Amino acid sequence: MTALVLPFLLAQPAGVVPQAAVAPDVVWLSDTARLTLTVEGPAPLRVELPERPELLLDASSRLAWRIYQPSPPAVAPLDGGRERWTQTYRLAPFLPGKEVPLGFDPIKVRAGGDAVAQDVAFPAVKAEVKTTATTPTLEGVEVRGIEELPPVPPPPPEPVGWKLAAALGTVFAVGVVVGLVRRRWAKPPAPPPAVRAWAELDRAAGQPPGPAVERVAAALRDYAARRFGVPAPQLTTAELAAAPWPDGTPPDSVDAIADVLAACDRAKFAPDSPTANAAADLIARARDWITAAEARAAP
């Protein structure tokens, strides 16, 4: 699908044609899309971009979209002494809506050997952003013991003698029983986050593809929350990618977990159920990410 192209906001230099497209143009709030920017013009064609990708967007679009992960630009020759410059980015929506606009600030372009760069504006595009209906949860992991017995009330005052001795013996016996029960049913200590996540991925491997994909996403979000303090179970995939992570977390690692969760979202909401091979691939990618994260976080 190709996004709707709106009229240009600025007059373009002669012979220079900028274009912008979003695919797909219907995006889940928890998913990502691909933005493709192209400029055609007389050769040689030189495009000057801002230092940070977000500076490509205008002020209002920065509140609705996150732009990141640019690909290396490519320049291809065209007929008639012209060239086409192309670069792609990853887009993550922040806000839902039927027509979420995506506008751009002007960039500098040198075409046909011009000594002075000229302002060029990409046309604005629109995309529909849908929200997910449910948030995956981690089921069957929490281990709960029985409720602790209430403390034994002290015995009432008794006359000195055999009755007092009997009461003390009863209290002692009850205390021993209560102690044994507490030791038998005491809640075991919680396993480390990585052990907990790996066990959940093992359970996913033995389930049908659909439930397995949901369990992979839940295990990754639970691990990120317990290991790094990121409230992943309450965030969409796009919000998780944009959330603050602990100092020293590589951006590539954040992008990697976002990619796995986005693939889980696509499998969950796709018209057809995911295949067994797709579920196995997501389980393997989740294991690799957790293993790499543990290696970096180890003292």
> What does the alpha-carbon distance between residue 43 and residue 73 come to, in Å, rounded to a whole number?
16
Is 50 a member of any domain?
A: yes
pTM of the model: 0.45
Is 55 a member of any domain?
A: yes
Is 182 a member of any domain?
A: no
Is 31 a member of any domain?
A: yes
Q: What is the pLDDT of residue 116?
A: 86
Residue where a domain stops, chosen among 130, 146, 170: 130
Domain that holds residue 31: 4-130
Residue where a domain stops, chosen among 91, 114, 130: 130
Q: Are 94 and 207 in the same domain? A: no
Is 122 a member of any domain?
A: yes
Q: What is the pLDDT of residue 8?
A: 43
Q: What is the pLDDT of residue 3?
A: 47
Q: Are 219 and 126 in the same domain? A: no
Q: Are 204 and 109 in the same domain? A: no
Q: What is the pLDDT of residue 35?
A: 93
299 residues of the chain, pLDDT tens digit each: 444 444 444 456 778 999 999 999 898 888 889 999 999 999 999 999 998 999 999 998 998 899 987 889 999 999 999 999 999 999 999 888 888 899 999 999 998 888 788 999 999 998 998 886 544 455 554 545 555 666 767 766 655 566 666 777 787 777 777 777 676 665 667 789 889 998 999 998 889 988 998 999 999 999 999 988 999 898 899 998 899 998 888 889 999 999 999 989 888 777 777 889 989 999 999 999 999 988 887 66
Q: Are 49 and 121 in the same domain? A: yes
The domain tally of the chain equals: 2
Q: What is the pLDDT of residue 190?
A: 79
Q: Are 198 and 125 in the same domain? A: no
Is 51 a member of any domain?
A: yes
Q: Are 12 and 123 in the same domain? A: yes
Q: What is the pLDDT of residue 146?
A: 53
Is 244 a member of any domain?
A: yes
* CATH number for 24: 2.60.40
Q: What is the pLDDT of residue 40?
A: 94
Is 174 a member of any domain?
A: no
Residue where a domain stops, chosen among 85, 109, 130: 130
